[in-house]
Amino acid sequence: MINNKDISAEEKILNAARRIFENKGMSGARMQEIADEAKINKSLLHYYYRSKQLLFEAVFKTAFNKLAPQINLVLNSDQSICDKIINFSNNYTSFMLKHPYLPNFILQELNRNPDFVKELISIDNFPNIINFKIQIEKAVSEEKIRPIEAEQLFINILALNIFPFIGAPLLKGFINASDKEYKKILNKRKTEVAEFIIKSIKL
Amino acid sequence: MINNKDISAEEKILNAARRIFENKGMSGARMQEIADEAKINKSLLHYYYRSKQLLFEAVFKTAFNKLAPQINLVLNSDQSICDKIINFSNNYTSFMLKHPYLPNFILQELNRNPDFVKELISIDNFPNIINFKIQIEKAVSEEKIRPIEAEQLFINILALNIFPFIGAPLLKGFINASDKEYKKILNKRKTEVAEFIIKSIKL
DNA sequence: ATATTTGTTGACCATTTGGTTAAACTTTTT
DNA sequence: AAAAAGTTTAACCAAATGGTCAACAAATAT
């Protein structure tokens, strides 16, 4: 049980804003709704964050900073390719099962405002493919994996891990699964995805 | 003059609404903006579609009806599994390169309003996995492909094909690609994705 | 030709929305 | 204990927004 009085207003606002923004997006969210969710007066939102835009950016960057390190584990750790794929698929899916709205939220807003990426790139530890590319090219030339471009493999890894969360409502419909059944399917993917990728790139 | 006006106002509105909704979503779109885009008076929007909600639903269902048949080609055609994967990956990516907005638009609104799926399910030809599942189970038992659940394979096929469009802004940043370079990468995926999948499921 | 239906517009309206302000209350500093 | 600084609230406000309406125009029927 979380005691609300132990959490500062500023933090309560950020949490409430996260829930509302994740659910409704920047344009769909209402400042009054966020205030209600945080159980504080609307003026406090502006006292701490000045404007809706700044509050949104605070939420967005917090969310993005949860995602980036996981991507970096694939791109910039010194694990073997197989270990990267196995660990990322397992860790990412586990994490996202707890925050299922996160990928959708981030991609939604980036699609709406592509220039926002440029701002993100300038921050520290923005994931970059360069080291991963070297690793893949080396593995290919050493015939440890079949020939494949690092970019394509990287897109595949992210696609297989992230899409099941973004596409959840549609996929549930297509495969006729209840929430519970779909969650079970996602859980299986913790190992299934890695197996699928490795089977494809091994020689 | 008579022939020049062969695009009815109703159609102009739908096209304009599509462009605006695609870009800004339901809550971000403004009726005035749609009217401006269609170069007609705002009252006409209400004359033809009564409300923003109904205009949105008209646009959404039009968009969804472009997507559904392609999914059905995977789920309910009588091609072999390999042909399905090859054809779908090629056709879908080709189609989406012309309509890159579509998957993001649809998934965004379904995530925002998951109950909307229930409405869609009731329409004709809503994609359903059942036939595909039979096909996969048969292929597995005949040892034509390695053991894999139809649901997982289906999610993988969609993920690999759809995600590169939804995740474009982020992926462009990660792999450091210009719009032109990214488009090139997407073009390669027309065959790359099928190869990736087939390599993974063959025995 | 005229009446009637259909299509189109500008002016207007009620409500919502992000944001401001001044005052009150609380905590910290002096 | 007084002053200062920080926090919280209710009351407002201007702009934006979805939507209505009456008038006008164009097409169609009589």
User: What is the pLDDT averaged over residues B40-61?
Assistant: 97
B44 in contact with nucleic chain C (CB within 7 A): yes
Q: What is the pLDDT of residue A177?
A: 97
Q: Which residues of B touch A152 (CB under 8 A)?
A: 185, 188-189, 192, 196
In a domain, A174, yes or no: yes
Q: Looking at the structure, do residues A13 and A94 belong to the same domain, yes or no?
A: no
Contact between A173 and B117 using a beta-carbon 8 Å cutoff: yes
In percent, how much of chain B has pLDDT > 90?
A: 91
CATH number for the domain spanning A23: value is 1.10.10.60
Q: Looking at the structure, do residues B66 and B120 belong to the same domain, yes or no?
A: yes
In a domain, B39, yes or no: yes
Q: Which residues of A touch B199 (CB under 8 A)?
A: 146, 199-201
pLDDT tens-digit map of B141-181: 999 999 999 999 999 999 999 999 999 999 999 999 999 99
Contact between A174 and B199 using a beta-carbon 8 Å cutoff: no
Q: Looking at the structure, do residues B182 and B97 belong to the same domain, yes or no?
A: yes
Q: What is the pLDDT of residue B6?
A: 59
Q: What is the pLDDT of residue B124?
A: 78
Q: Looking at the structure, do residues B13 and B98 belong to the same domain, yes or no?
A: no
In a domain, B86, yes or no: yes
Q: Which chain B residue shows the shortest CA-CA distance from A125?
A: B174
Q: Looking at the structure, do residues B46 and B65 belong to the same domain, yes or no?
A: no
Q: What is the pLDDT of residue B71?
A: 96
Q: Looking at the structure, do residues A11 and A96 belong to the same domain, yes or no?
A: no
pLDDT value at B5 more than 70: no
In a domain, A55, yes or no: no
B29 in contact with nucleic chain D (CB within 7 A): yes
How many domains does chain A divide into? 2
Q: Looking at the structure, do residues B8 and B102 belong to the same domain, yes or no?
A: no
Closest CA–CA distance from residue B16 to any residue of chain A (Å): 17
Residue pairs between chains A and B whose CB atoms are closer than 8 Å: 173
CATH number for the domain spanning B154: value is 1.10.357.10
CA neighbor of A125 nearest in space, from A178, A69, A176, A188: A69
Q: Pinpoint the alpha helices (H) of chain B.
A: 9-28, 31-38, 42-49, 52-76, 81-98, 102-112, 116-121, 130-141, 150-166, 168-174, 179-201
- Identify the band that residue B122 occupies on the pLDDT scale cut at 50, 70 and 90: confident
Q: What is the pLDDT of residue A6?
A: 58
In a domain, B141, yes or no: yes
Q: What is the pLDDT of residue A93?
A: 97
Of A127, A160, A177, the CB nearest to B156: A160
pLDDT tens-digit map of A89-129: 999 999 999 999 999 999 999 999 988 899 999 887 899 99
Backbone angles phi, psi at A143, to 5 degrees: 60, 35
Closest CA–CA distance from residue A87 to any residue of chain B (Å): 18
Residue A116 is which amino acid? Answer: F
Q: What is the pLDDT of residue A167?
A: 97
Closest CA–CA distance from residue A106 to any residue of chain B (Å): 9
In a domain, A154, yes or no: yes
A24 in contact with nucleic chain C (CB within 7 A): no
In a domain, B56, yes or no: no
B84 in contact with nucleic chain D (CB within 7 A): no
Q: How many Cβ atoms are within 10 Å of B193's Cβ, its own excluded? A: 27
Contact assessment for residue B163 and residue B100, using Cβ atoms and an 8 Å cutoff: no
pLDDT value at B36 more than 50: yes
Mean model confidence pLDDT for chain B: 94
Contact between A164 and B155 using a beta-carbon 8 Å cutoff: yes
Structural domain of B20: 1-50
Q: Looking at the structure, do residues B166 and B75 belong to the same domain, yes or no?
A: yes
Closest CA–CA distance from residue A101 to any residue of chain B (Å): 9
Q: Looking at the structure, do residues A35 and A84 belong to the same domain, yes or no?
A: no
Q: What is the pLDDT of residue A122?
A: 85
Q: Looking at the structure, do residues A18 and A81 belong to the same domain, yes or no?
A: no
Chain A residues 26-65, Cβ below 7 A from strand D: 40-44, 47
Q: Distance (Å) from CA A6 to C1' C24?
A: 23
Return d(Cα B61, Cα B182) in angstroms, integer: 29
CA neighbor of A108 nearest in space, from B104, B17, B115, B175: B104
Q: Looking at the structure, do residues B86 and B161 belong to the same domain, yes or no?
A: yes
B40 in contact with nucleic chain C (CB within 7 A): yes
Mean pLDDT per segment of 10 residues, for chain A of length 203 residues? Answer: 58 97 98 97 97 98 93 95 97 96 96 91 90 98 98 98 97 97 98 98 95
In a domain, A14, yes or no: yes
Q: What is the pLDDT of residue B142?
A: 98
CA neighbor of A65 nearest in space, from A130, A17, A124: A124
pLDDT value at B187 more than 70: yes
Q: Looking at the structure, do residues A28 and A71 belong to the same domain, yes or no?
A: no
Last residue of a domain, one of B50, B69, B88: B50
